Chain A
Amino acid sequence: MEQDPAIRIKGLLTQFGSNVIHKDLDLNVRRGEILGLVGGSGSGKSVLMNTIIGLRRPNAGSIEVLGQNVDQANSATLKWLSSRWGVLFQDGALFSSLTVRQNVEVPLKTHTELSEHACAELAEIKVGLAGLPPDAAHKYPSELSGGMRKRAGLARALALDPDILFLDEPTAGLDPIGAASFDSLVQELQRALGLTILMVTHDMDSLYTVCDRVAVLLDRRIKVGTIAELMEDSHPWIAEYFGGPRGRAAADARRRVTDGRKT
C-alpha cells in the first residue's frame, strides 16, 4: 500500500458568493515529491494554496495535511502543523522591521526553546542554504533585491526544517539565470532535507527541471500526472499549455540537458 500522502484533499468546494472556484476537487500530494501547480489566471491556484495552509476555510470538503484535518484542527494541532510546514509567499512577505536573520529566527523562537546563540547560528545556516551571501543576514528587506527577498523568504520557510514547503511562484520576476539557480536550489534542498514541495508556478523550465508531477487546475478540478502523461491528455487547454511554443522550448531545453548528461 502506498504511504500516507503528505496532503490529501477530498471534495473541496470553494466559492466567493455565487462564483464557484473549486468543485469536487481531489488531490493527493505524495511524501517527498515536488508537485507543480499550474492553471490559467484566475483559476484559483493561490486560493487553493491559501486553503491548504488554513488561511481560508473551505466551503465544503476536507483537507488533511500530514494526517491532520486543517479545517477542524484545534489550536495545538494548528501550532504543530505550522511548525511542520514552511510557506514562501510571492514577494517573500518578510517582516519589514526585522533584518533577514531576525526574520529567520522568528519561527525558531516561536516554536522552540533554543538559546539565543543557537537560534542565531541556525538562522545563519538557513540564510546560507538559501544561497544568500553571509553579509545579507544583517540587511533589512528593503535593502534587498527581489531575488534576494525570495531567497530570504525561503530561508524563513526552511527555518524549522519543515516536512512540507509551499512555494507561491518562486521564480516569477527573477531573471532566467536567477530563476535557474533558484530551481536547482529547491531541488538540492529537497534532496538534502527530504522535503515535500507544492509549488505554484508558471515557469515552464521549473516544471520540466524540478517537478516530479504537475497538477493542472482546470474547470474547477485538478488533473495530476507527470508531464509526459499530461501531454497525452486531450483537453485543449493542457495541449495548448504544454504543446505551445513556450512548452516546446522548455521541453527541448530539458532534452538537451539530459542528453548532454548521458554522453
Chain B
Amino acid sequence: MATAGREAAARLTTDRDGSQLRLLFAGSWTTANLADREAELDGTLNRRALAGVERAVLSLDQVTHFDTAGAWATLRTARRLRDAGVEVAIEGAGADRQRLLEAVEQTEPAPSPPRGLRFPLSFLANLGKLTLTLGADARALTGFLGLTTLVFLRALLRPSRIRFTSLIHHMQKTGVDSLPIVGLLAFLIGVVLAYQGADQLARFGAQIYTVNLLGISVLREMGILITAIIVAGRSGSAFTAQIGTMKVNQEIDAMRTIGLDPVEVLVLPRALALVLVMPLLTFYANIMAILGGGLMVWVLLGIDPAAFVRQLHQSLNVEALLVGMIKAPVFAFVIGLVGCFEGLRTGGNAESVGTQTTRAVVEAIFLVIVLDAFFSVFFSVIGV
C-alpha cells in the first residue's frame, strides 16, 4: 500500500560535545511527519538542555525529504536557539534546500487579527449599526416604491409598454401553479378553525355559531393572510432569486447599457402579475377554507350542508368578503415590490442571492402582517 510507510519518519538526534550542540535531522521532514516531532523539537530546546551551550549546528545531511514544513521547523529551531543566546549554523542544506529555507525565511508572519469590541460595547455598536441599516433600508424601499409606482402609472397611460408575454408567464407561475398548495392549506385552516370553534362554543351550547366564526374569520382575515404568506414564500422568494441571479450574472447591467429599464422589464410584469392574480387566489382560498370548515362542522356537529349554507347566509354580508378582498392587491404589490427590491440589491456573488432571498421572505411577511393590523384599525374606525 502506497499510503503507509512511503516515507521514512522524521528523526532528530542531539549530540552534545562540551559547549557545542549538534542537532542531527534525518529522515523525511515533511508536513505529514511534522506532527510527531513537534513536541520533541520543543523538548530539546528547554533551558536545562541548553545550559552552557554556546554553539549549535543544525545538520540536514541525512534528510531524505524536505518541504516548507521542514524548513519552518528548522528555522524555528534556529530562531529559538538564537533567542537563547546560542550561535547557530545550518549545515548540509544543499542548493535546493537553501533556496527553500530562504524563501520561507523571507515570509513575514501575519499581524494579529484586528480586535473586535468587547461585550457591552459590541452590543451597543451592533444595535446602532442595525438601527442605521434599518433606517437606510426603509428609505431605500420607500424610494423603490416611488420609482415602481411611477413606472406603473406610465405603463397605465401607455399600456403598450407592458410586456404581455412576461406578464402572462408570471401570472401562470404565481397564480395557476400555486393553486394546489394554496387550496390544500386553506382547506386545512378551515378544518382547524371549525374544530377549535366547535370545541369552545359547545360549552355555551352555541355550536351553531361555529359557522359564523368560520365565515367571518376566513373571509375577513384567514383567507387573505394564508394566501399572502404562501405567495410571499413561494413567489416573492422566486422573484428575488431570479433577479438576484441576473444581477450576479451582470444581466441587469447589460440591460441598462442597452437602454432597457430593469424596473419596467423585470419589476413591472412581476408585480402586476401578482396584483392581478392575488385577489383570485384569495377568493379561491376563501372557498376552500369554508369547504374545509363546512366538512368539519358536518362531521363534528352534524350540521348538514343545507343548514350550513343557511347559517352562513345569515351571518355574512358582502362587506365581510370585500374587507378581505380589498387587501389582496395591496399585499400582492408589497410582496412583489419587496421580492424585486431585494433581488436588485443582490451583491456581486452567489452567496448574497441566498441571503437576499431569505430577507425578502421575512420582510414581505412582516410588512403584510403590519399592513393587516393597519387595515384592522382602519376598518374598525370607519365601522365596517
Contact = CB atoms under 8 A, between A and B. Distances in A.
A22 interface: no
A114 interface: yes
Contacts of A134: 107-111
Contacts of A122: 31, 68-69, 72
B115 to A, nearest CB: 11
A145 interface: no
B40 to A, nearest CB: 13
B104 interface: yes
Contacts of B113: 99, 138
Given A83-B32, A122-B69, A127 B110 contact: yes
Given A114-B35, A160-B31, A161-B67, A121 B99 contact: no
Interface residues of B, number: 29
A125 interface: yes
B303 interface: no
B83 interface: no
A124 B76 CA distance: 14
A225 interface: no
Interface of A: 66-68, 76-77, 79-80, 83, 96, 99, 101, 108, 111-115, 118, 121-122, 124-129, 134-138, 142, 158-161, 188, 191-194
A124 B3 contact: no
B38 interface: yes
A129 B2 contact: no
B99 to A, nearest CB: 5
15 contacts: A76-B3, A83-B32, A99-B113, A111-B32, A114-B31, A125-B68, A125-B72, A125-B107, A127-B110, A129-B107, A134-B110, A135-B110, A159-B31, A161-B30, A191-B99
Interface in B76-124: 76, 96, 99-100, 103-104, 106-111, 113-114
A124 B109 contact: yes
Contact of B2 (A67, A111, A192): A67
Given A129-B107, A161-B69, A114 B99 contact: no
A76 B76 CA distance: 32
Interface of B: 1-3, 30-32, 34-35, 38, 67-69, 72, 76, 96, 99-100, 103-104, 106-111, 113-114, 349, 351
A188 B106 CA distance: 14
* Most B Cβ at <10 Å: residue of A101, A111, A125, A194: A125
Nearest to B97: A192
A159 B72 CA distance: 13
A262 B44 CA distance: 49
A76 B35 CA distance: 20
Contact of B34 (A80, A114, A138, A191): A114
Contacts, number: 91
Contacts of A118: 34-35, 38
Contacts of B99: 191-192
Contact of A126 (B68, B109, B349, B351): B68
A111 B32 CA distance: 7
B114 A124 contact: no
A124 B103 CA distance: 13
A217 to B, nearest CB: 28
A64 B122 CA distance: 54
A158 B103 CA distance: 14
Contact of B68 (A99, A137, A142, A193): A193
Contacts of A125: 68, 72, 104, 107
B114 A138 contact: yes
B278 to A, nearest CB: 36
Contacts of B351: 96
A191 B97 CA distance: 10
B67 to A, nearest CB: 4
A115 B36 CA distance: 10
Contacts of A115: 35, 38
Nearest to A68: B2
Nearest to B35: A113
Contacts of A83: 32
B349 A128 contact: no
B107 A124 contact: yes
B32 A160 contact: yes
A35 B69 CA distance: 26
A64 to B, nearest CB: 11
A183 to B, nearest CB: 17
B107 A112 contact: no
Nearest to A113: B35
A127 B111 CA distance: 12
Contacts of B3: 76-77, 79-80
A119 to B, nearest CB: 10
